[in-house]
Amino acid sequence: MPGNKLTAALIFVFFSAVVIVSTAFFWNEARNEIKYLCKNFVPGISMNNVAEQLQTAQHATYSLTQTSKGTSIVFSSPIHFHFYKCVIELDANNVVNSARLY
């Protein structure tokens, strides 16, 4: 019987390690995706260009909000509970004013 408990403990440790490593990998991939795409959004880029790039995201989503100055796009990932995000501000002509990483 002691061998069965040891085997069960080793199986538990193995699967726990797999879950932790997998979670860490996808967490990092989502963070990198947001970080690298956010660097692409410099002032003067059109909203169409921004949307095309954001649609290539594998691990993140974005939402649009109309503001008094234009449009605000929040790009984040549910993998890390939207902790990291890129906020892209566009003017009334749908041109990027700024993109900030939080």
Query: Average pLDDT for residues 19-46, to the nearest whole number?
Result: 97
1 has a pLDDT exceeding 80: no
The architecture in CATH of the region 2-101 reads 2-Layer Sandwich (3.30)
Domain boundaries, the chain: 2-101
Average pLDDT of the chain? 96
Query: Which residues does 39 contact at the CB level (< 8 Å), separation at least 6?
Result: 99
Task: Place 3 in a pLDDT band, splitting at 50, 70 and 90.
Answer: confident
Q: Which residues of 31-68 are buried (b: 16+ CB within 10 A; e: fewer)?
A: bebbeebbeebeeebebeebeeebeeeebbebeeeeee
Of residues 2 and 61, the one with the higher pLDDT is 61
Contact 42, 5 (CB under 8 A): no
Contact 77, 26 (CB under 8 A): no
Q: Provide the phi-psi class of 81: left if phi over 0, else alpha when psi is between -120 and 50, else beta.
A: left
Structure tokens at 26: 């996808």
Distance CA 82, CA 59 (A): 11
Q: What pLDDT score was predicted for residue 53? A: 98
The rounded percent of the chain whose pLDDT value lies above 90 is 94
